[in-house]
Amino acid sequence: MAVIDATGRPPAAAAPAAPVRSRDPEAHPVPTGREEAWRFTPLRPLKPLIAGQEPDGKIDISVAAPEGVEVEFVDADDPRVGRVLTPVDRVAAFATVRAGGAVAVTVPGETELTEPIVAALRGEGGVCYSHLVVEVGPFARATVVLDHTGTAKYAGNVEVHVGHGASVTFVSLQDWDDDAVHAGAHAFSVGRDAKLRATHLTLGGHLVRINPTVDYRGPGGDAELAGLFFTDAGQHQEHRLLVTHLERNCRSRVTYKGALQGADAHSVWIGDVLIGADAVGTDTYEINRNLVLTDGARADSVPNLEILTGEVAGAGHASATGRFDDEVLFYLMARGIPAGEARRLVVRGFFGEVLDRIDVPALRDRVMAAVDAELSAVGA
Amino acid sequence: MSTLEIRNLHVSVETDGEGPREILRGVNLTVRKGETHAIMGPNGSGKSTLSYAIAGHPKYTVTEGSITLDGADVLAMGVDTRARAGIFLAMQYPVEVPGVSVSNFLRTSATAVRGEAPKLRLWVKEVKETMGFLEMDQAFAERGVNEGFSGGEKKRHEILQMMLLKPKIAILDETDSGLDVDALRVVSAGINAVRETGETGTLLITHYTRILRYVQPEFVHVMAGGKIVDEGGSELAATLEESGYDKYVKVGAGA
């Protein structure tokens, strides 16, 4: 596959100024679009959320949880709220304030769940906000799925705490209708010797901007972040990741793959990794690969690694954006495979690394079917 | 009776910024099933262009002439239709298809060419035996298509496809290039196995005579300057081995 190396970008000249961290929306400036954090994002669709407009719509949240898991609605001043997530922008700050509380899911320590916890979030139109807290106790094992469908102008905060020695698989599927707007601050904290596998799958929406962040609450934590997006004509899909290594001997892996097709399809991937001065023994690698299927689509990809200690076990990043390779198409067609099927084969192969790791079979099948449908919509 | 007929074929290629350039200038060739033809010639004579034009690569434009397979107009067919009609091109430089396993690729291809999915049990056996014949490790089937393959592995993989797809006309574009003696022996055995069925017409495109010691053609054609400038039996290959292409290059340059 022809690959255009996109890592040739100059690194940010200086570390960006530390953003304001506050639960108070008014502590955050109104973005103008010139800020580093907002320069790729069309602000117009986000206006009501930036302004903190009172909700006039609804997002219907239903949580299906196996026995032993506690699901409750708690006040915004509950100690669990804000334990992992401190908003870095107005939208995230408003999400908590306007949600008027949080859905809290608690998996007690040493509980081993065999079935996933599934939160279905269905947008019913209009401006709406929510806040979700997931607490997984020490040595517990759980899978959490967020399934976003319908439409809304929606700001949703999610905070997930993985207790020490626990293991959490988290999947967030953005399967929105074409006109949905979704700004999501998804914050994860990984306890001592805990393991997190978080996957973001973004298929739909008019504008989706997810901000996954990871920090570690003890040494030995392991976070694998994966993502898949399929960006269609007129869609803006943005994933900005920040992994902050301040603890020793923690590991992070970031693997995001995107396919784009159609006029003004725009994807943004920002991968920021910060390794603090005390975070010796850190092992981190992040990669974003994009496959541009048609003319008129644009993929922005910016990896950024800041290292303040000389004693890392490994630190690297890669980014590559390539066009669909006509020679590959010729090769497959020269073996009798029709063009449409050849494209599906190539795109499935491209996404395989991320798709194969979704260990919720129904979800994996749904994503594959959605990708196939997207491909046949354009025809080949 | 499968017959590939090429008549007065003129082919141009789009060049960067210099407009179309004519590469083939009136090629005539007939390949019948069971026959083996070698097309030889110096670099730039148009050998590879001929193979790509038959397979339908979009970069090459046929400006004049015809190609038919059993009377059907090949030029009117898309690339995949040609393959399903029985034309197979073993590529000189097979491309990587990342993340798509060899086994998935072979099965998808066989399903398309045969018109139905092969029965799984029989298929697995067939692939296994053919890989064994080509001295390929079974683990090979789980690798990504051409991903990290050595030159020899790529060519074996091309011959594996040919053996499984059983084409009416097989075009082998410099399949011998870059092979060591062992790989050449194995690949040639694969080509001969297909020839011995008597169901396939083989068009062997090569710069060197080395492979012709393993795969003996009944017909040898020499290309230069976009035309076939000499024809004969296998004895012509022996002459070329001694005298090289010098005299043809002069003819080609004057054309």
* Core vs surface per residue A104-141: b (16+ CB within 10 A) or e: bbbbeeebebeebbbbebebebbbbbbbbbbbbbbbbb
Report, as an integer, the average pLDDT of A239-250: 98
Helix, strand, or coil (residue B45): coil
- The pLDDT score that the predictor gives to residue B200 is 97
What gap in Å lies between CA B84 and CA A333, rounded to an integer? 9
Residues 6+ apart with CB under 8 A from A373: none
Model confidence at B241: pLDDT above 90: no
Within a domain: residue A7?
A: no
Model confidence at A310: pLDDT above 80: yes
- The pLDDT score that the predictor gives to residue B181 is 93
In chain A the beta strands, taken as DSSP E runs, fall at: 4-5, 59-64, 70-74, 102-107, 117-136, 141-162, 167-174, 181-190, 195-202, 207-216, 222-231, 236-245, 251-260, 266-275, 283-292, 298-307, 314-323
Nearest to A102 by CA among A63, A82, A130: A130
Nearest by CB to residue B79, choosing from A325, A333, A346, is A333
Task: Express each pLDDT in B100-124 by its tens digit.
Answer: 999 999 999 999 999 999 999 999 9
Phi, psi (degrees; rounded to nearest 5) at A80: -70, -25
Task: Express each pLDDT in A136-163 by its tens digit.
Answer: 999 999 999 999 999 999 999 999 999 9
Task: Express each pLDDT in B161-195 by its tens digit.
Answer: 999 999 999 999 999 988 999 999 999 999 999 99
Share of chain B above pLDDT 70, in %: 97
Report, as an integer, the average pLDDT of B197-213: 94
Tokens of A162: 């993985």
pLDDT-based confidence at residue A2 (cuts at 50, 70, 90): very low
Within a domain: residue A137?
A: yes
Model confidence at B242: pLDDT above 90: no
* Domain at B166, CATH number: 3.40.50.300
Q: Measured between beta carbons, which residues in chain A are less than 8 angstroms from residue B95?
A: 1, 325, 327-328, 331
- Output the average pLDDT for chain A: 93
Model confidence at B14: pLDDT above 60: yes
Tokens of A7: 């890592």
- Angle, helix B151-165 to helix B181-196, in steps of 10 degrees: 10
Phi, psi (degrees; rounded to nearest 5) at B74: -70, -35
What gap in Å lies between CA A183 and CA A157, rounded to an integer? 8
Report, as an integer, the average pLDDT of A53-74: 97
Phi, psi (degrees; rounded to nearest 5) at A349: -65, -40
> Taking a C-beta distance cutoff of 8 angstroms, is the pair B222, B214 a contact?
no
Report, as an integer, the average pLDDT of A11-15: 46
Report, as an integer, the average pLDDT of A36-57: 97
C-alpha angle A123-A125-A129 in degrees, rounded to nearest 5 = 60
User: What are the C-alpha distances in Å from B180 to residues A301, B61, B131, B149, B191?
Assistant: 43, 35, 19, 15, 16
Number of domains in chain A: 1
Task: Express each pLDDT in A360-377 by its tens digit.
Answer: 999 999 999 999 998 887
Number of domains in chain B: 1
Share of chain A above pLDDT 90, in %: 90
Structural domain boundaries, residue A311: 18-325
Q: How many CB atoms lie within 10 A of CB B118?
A: 16
Residues 6+ apart with CB under 8 A from A92: A85, A155, A157, A183, A185, A211
A333 close to B (CB below 8 A): yes
Within a domain: residue A3?
A: no
Inter-chain touch B84–A336, beta carbons under 8 Å: yes
A1 close to B (CB below 8 A): yes
- Higher pLDDT: A18 or A24? It is A24
Tokens of A361: 């079979």
Within a domain: residue A182?
A: yes
Chain A interface mutation, best of B100, B142, B147, highest count of A Cβ atoms under 10 Å: B100
Q: How many CB atoms lie within 10 A of CB B72?
A: 12
pLDDT-based confidence at residue A378 (cuts at 50, 70, 90): low
Distance from CA of B236 to the nearest CA of A (A): 31
Share of chain A above pLDDT 70, in %: 94
Amino acid, single-letter form, for residue A367: V
Model confidence at A15: pLDDT above 80: no
Model confidence at A16: pLDDT above 90: no
Model confidence at B19: pLDDT above 80: yes
Within a domain: residue A13?
A: no
- The pLDDT score that the predictor gives to residue A14 is 47
- The pLDDT score that the predictor gives to residue A7 is 45
Inter-chain touch A345–B100, beta carbons under 8 Å: yes
Antiparallel, parallel or unpaired: β A195-202 and A222-231: parallel
What gap in Å lies between CA A158 and CA A148, rounded to an integer? 13
pLDDT-based confidence at residue A317 (cuts at 50, 70, 90): very high
User: What are the C-alpha distances in Å from A147 to residues A172, A229, B29, B36, B76?
Assistant: 6, 15, 61, 60, 48
Report, as an integer, the average pLDDT of A47-58: 97
Structural domain boundaries, residue B174: 3-254
Helix, strand, or coil (residue B64): strand
Inter-chain touch B83–A351, beta carbons under 8 Å: no
Inter-chain touch A337–B104, beta carbons under 8 Å: no
